[in-house]
Amino acid sequence: MTRYYTFGPAAAAIAAILIGAACRPSGPRVFFVQPQDGATVKSPVKLEFGAQDFTIAAVPQGTVTETRPSLGHYHIGVDADCLPPGTAIPRASPWVHFGDGKNVIDMQLPAGTHKLSLQVGDDLHRTIEGLCSTISVNVTE
Ligand SMILES: [Cu+2]
């Protein structure tokens, strides 16, 4: 008598589940909702940011001397790389702070290829580990 074992499909299903779990981004992260990485766009370029498992909030009014935990705001660096964790994000070009808690901007960019780094900073505008994302866009006139 011949018996047929069907471990193949079951093993494949288990492998798919394991691979899915391993690839799913875990923990807080930030990302561009638009534009997509590598997109060809016209200036002004509408940028929109998103965050997962992290709270985006406006910086409190007045003098801020300490930061609130697990909370921050967006920054965009034009033609800039992500900064190392704990770095004070410069309050000058090429960095733009969204201290009001906003997640959109229509940004004027010259024609050409530009690298855009979305970097979260805390209430003291210091970078937070793992909360940065970089894309590249091609701006046409
Ligand atoms: Cu800031």
Question: Does any domain span residue 50?
Answer: yes
**pLDDT tens-digit series, residues 25-75:** 578 999 999 999 999 999 999 999 999 999 999 999 999 999 999 999 999
Q: Which domain holds residue 113?
A: 27-140
What are 41's two structure tokens?
A: 């766009």
**pLDDT value at position 52?**
96
Ligand 1: centre distance to CA 34 (Å)? 21
Given a cut of 60, whether residue 77 has pLDDT beyond it is yes
* CATH number of the structural domain spanning residue 76: 2.60.40.10
**pLDDT value at position 11?**
60
**pLDDT value at position 72?**
98
Ligand 1: centre distance to CA 93 (Å)? 13
What residues have their beta carbon closer than 5 A to ion ligand 1?
97, 121, 125
Domain count along the chain: 1
Report the C-alpha gap between 80 and 98 in whole angstroms: 16
Please give the single-letter amino acid code of residue 11: A
Please give the single-letter amino acid code of residue 5: Y
Cβ atoms < 10 Å from Cβ of 50: 16
Question: Does any domain span residue 76?
Answer: yes
Question: Does any domain span residue 9?
Answer: no
Backbone angles phi, psi at 15, to 5 degrees: -60, -40
Q: Report the range of poorest mean pLDDT among 6-10, 53-57, 99-103, 105-109.
A: 6-10
Count of alpha carbons within 13 Å of 109, Cβ hemisphere only? Answer: 27
Ligand 1: centre distance to CA 17 (Å)? 39
User: Model-level pTM?
Assistant: 0.82
Report the C-alpha gap between 128 and 57 in whole angstroms: 14
